[in-house]
Structure 1
Amino acid sequence: MYSIKQVVEMLDIPSVTLRAWESRYQAVTPERTESGYRLYSRDNVEDLRWLKDQIEQQGISISHAVRLLKVQKEKHLEDNVVISGTPEDAFEKMKEQIYTALHEFQGERANALIDFGFSMYGYEAMFHQVLVPVLIKVGDAWEVGKATVAQEHYMTHMISNRFYQFFNVFPVYAHLPKVLAFCPAGEHHQVGLLLFSLFLRKNGVEVIYLGANTPEEGILSILEQQKRIGAICLSVTDKALIPYCEGLIQHLKGACPEAEFIVGGKAYEAFPNSVGARFIMNEPPEQWQSWFDKMFIGMKSKI
């Protein structure tokens, strides 16, 4: 990764020009540090070099050059992703390419591949067949030392952001009860919870999504403020957290007795006797809809 100063020195392009190309024409999309500083990947640098060559050697405008670059990239993606064989072959190849791009901190390429996949296969197939397996592979690579903490955080953050983007796409139906979704304190893996929450949002449910490592006091505060909470979902992969979660469920039942409790995650696969909670999240996604129709029709009469 390169700072804007390094890119200026390598390409002899003024920093003000780089910023203009980025803001006006979306020529490249560099990563940002926590402080907001730009970080350019090798792909970003090569794209900028190509744009500069087109302007200086071919005499075309930056806007035209950017359009040509995007067409070229889309063609390259199509040539490299769309392959003969079964859909599973295409998903497997796309999964490997997205994983490799993220592992090498090539965020722009990874996002381009994901966008291409959405346009080709739709968001549901991409989430279930590609992005969720990539997140699982990331976690496995980190556990066995094939990915650093920085790589794991970066890759998880990039894909999670794609999930979050869809939360605001679907309409919310006011007549449906709300759902509170979180991973309890100490639990940092939220893939299953994200996918289940996205399913609920697709069905018009307002999901108050708290994410990973949520402290109990924060949950209780929300239950005090929010009305019409029809279901509370929590996901756990760490078996050591089960006793805490069981106590938490009982505590939250006292604060919100009318809510249904739904649990999921690898930890609960080995602990099927949760007090007063359902295990819908651990069922195959194709079974979620029938559960949703039965459960929420009943809830609407309660709330």
Structure 2
Amino acid sequence: MGCNVYSIKQVVEMLDIPSVTLRAWENRYQAVTPERTESGYRLYTQENIEDLRWLKEQTEKQGISISHAVRLLKARKENPAAEGPAGAVGTPREAFEKMKQQIYSALYEFQGERANALIDFGFSMYGYESMFHQVLVPILIRVGDAWEEGSATVAQEHYMTHMVSNRFYQFFHLFPVYAHLPKVLAFCPEGEHHQVGLLLFSLFLRKNGVEVVYLGANTPEGGVVAMLETQNRIGAVCLSVTDKELLPYCKELITRLQAIRPGIRFILGGKAYEAAEEPVPEAAEVIGVPAERWQEWFDYSFTGARNQR
């Protein structure tokens, strides 16, 4: 053979990985695929060695699971240009653009495993803040535009939105919840299908220790009523609307919900409310500031209003 190969015993000595672990990584997770002799003995290439060394570092130093590490490794091999913000693709903007295109294409073709592997790799390289704002949010917006233009089917739009939204939901459980803050119920009313802004705002609240019950897009009124009747700790309702035609319904909805839970706060957002000229109902406020000023709003209005009660 033209390159060096190593037996499993040599690999164990080189990497300090037990042979039983090596076999498990190979058989259960397809971490590497060593060559085989005619007698069936494993022979590991130099590339196998480097891959195993990288996997060991991820599991031991980064504390991630082997299954997650293998997915990152596969994405790393498929997307070597994303090795760093500069790398072979030049600027960070170019790196994000390439990753957006790759993830979008994978989702468009219903290649969920490939898309998740690329997203995992992006999180490991750039962190979740950058991936959310620079990659995943633009993908969700592009998906919505493609559906409205007719270049994506309903099935594609639902699948792509669901896959990306799931990655948002995963981070809801990473942040601590502070019991002194009111629980928030977040949803888009029935007929409203655009939830990107609501997702981002809900994640922002979770980062600040707020427990968020996220119901998502196109939520029937009955489900909201049931939540308010059974969840006593809900102190605020976050409502996001982009379609201005829904504003009259939302005004009536807020009145009905206030009758169920007097004193509850309503936090309103979305393009429809930002452009609305009519005043909002009492105990409701419109988040009219851009995302970079949400923290300022939260520190002054959300926690401040709570402290004044």
TM normalised by structure 2 equals 0.74
Are positions 1:138 and 2:120 aligned together?
A: no
Query: 1:81 touches 1:90 (CA, 8 Å); kept in 2?
Result: no
Query: 1:81 touches 1:93 (CA, 8 Å); kept in 2?
Result: no
For 1:257 and 1:188, the matched residues in 2 are separated by: 28
For 2:266 and 2:141, the matched residues in 1 are separated by: 25
Quote the residue 2:168 is aligned against: 163
- Aligned residue for 2:239, secondary structure, equals strand
Count of paired positions: 259
Q: 1:61 to 1:190 in 2, by over 3 A?
A: farther
Quote the residue 2:28 is aligned against: 25
Match of 1:86 among 75, 80, 91: 91
- State the 1:217 CA deviation: 2.0
Query: 2:188 touches 2:216 (CA, 8 Å); kept in 1?
Result: yes
Q: 1:154 to 1:187 in 2, by over 3 A?
A: same
- State the 1:202 CA deviation: 0.7
For 1:194 and 1:134, the matched residues in 2 are separated by: 14
Aligned partner letter, 2:290: P
For 1:185 and 1:27, the matched residues in 2 are separated by: 44
CA RMSD of aligned residues (A): 3.0
- Structure number with larger C-alpha Rg: 2
For 1:265 and 1:117, the matched residues in 2 are separated by: 28
For 1:81 and 1:146, the matched residues in 2 are separated by: 32
Are positions 1:287 and 2:287 aligned together?
A: no
Work out which structure has the larger RCO, using CA pairs closer than 8 Å and 6 or more positions apart in sequence. 1
Quote the residue 1:194 is aligned against: 199
- Aligned residue for 1:170, secondary structure, equals coil
- State the 1:55 CA deviation: 5.8
Aligned partner letter, 1:142: W
Quote the residue 1:60 is aligned against: 42
Match of 1:268 among 264, 267, 273: 273
For 2:124 and 2:285, the matched residues in 1 are separated by: 35
TM normalised by structure 1 equals 0.76
For 1:159 and 1:289, the matched residues in 2 are separated by: 24
Structure 1 moving runs of 4+ over 6 Å: none
- State the 1:179 CA deviation: 0.6
Q: 1:279 to 1:92 in 2, by over 3 A?
A: farther
Are positions 1:300 and 2:282 aligned together?
A: no
**Taking every aligned residue pair, what percent have the same amino acid on both sides?**
63
- State the 1:230 CA deviation: 2.5
- State the 1:59 CA deviation: 4.7
Query: 2:186 touches 2:202 (CA, 8 Å); kept in 1?
Result: yes
Q: Which runs of 5+ in 1 are unaligned?
A: 1-20, 29-49
Query: 1:175 touches 1:300 (CA, 8 Å); kept in 2?
Result: no
For 2:43 and 2:265, the matched residues in 1 are separated by: 59
Match of 2:125 among 106, 120, 124: 120
For 1:297 and 1:242, the matched residues in 2 are separated by: 27
1:236-270 per-residue CA deviation (whole Å, 9 max, x = no partner) reads 12222111111111222222232221112222233
1:206-255 per-residue CA deviation (whole Å, 9 max, x = no partner) reads 00111122121221221122223222111112222111111111222222
Q: 1:302 to 1:61 in 2, by over 3 A?
A: farther
